[in-house]
Amino acid sequence: MKSPILLLAICLAAHAPLLKAEEGNSSLEHQMKILAKGTRQLSQQVTDPSQQQSSVDLIEKLKKASQDSKSFDPRMVETIPVADKAKFLTDYRAQMDKLSEAFTKIEDAVKSGHYAEAKSLLTSVNGIKREGHDKFKQD
């Protein structure tokens, strides 16, 4: 009979990648992927009145991802001096709030049927993204 400890070790080793994958679904990287993919999709459909509900649903998902991102620290925080970390994280969370507010404005325009305005507002998201990545993302 094989050792039960060896069998347990094999089982745990086999499940380790699954546990790590589940862990990754709530990471900052995962939230950023949701934002990137969702923003691309939104840019393709935001001016289509027949996609109004889909756009609103997508915007809700994007707002949630931007808010969920605030509960994670960017990797760059590890390089920030201890004395500056609190300000860095406050600024990061304010940037994510700015992104969420931009999505709210887009949502209001879509719900009102102002699709050209929504498309125009969507361009501000790219600026917020660039600004945030310049300040808070390590290369």
pLDDT tens digits, one per residue of 1-30? 455 554 444 544 444 443 333 344 459 999
CATH H superfamily, domain 28-136 = Cytochrome c/b562 (1.20.120.10)
Instruction: Assess whether pLDDT exceeds 50 at residue 87.
Output: yes
Is pTM beyond 0.85? Reply is: no
- Residue 63 CA to residue 104 CA, distance in Å, equals 8
**Domain extent listing, the chain:** 28-136
| CA dihedral for 33, 64, 94, 74, sign (positive or negative) | negative
What pLDDT is stored for residue 26 in this prediction?
59
Contact partners, residue 28, CB within 8 Å, separation at least 6: 69, 72, 73, 74, 75
Of 51, 53, 135, 66, the C-alpha closest to 104 is 66
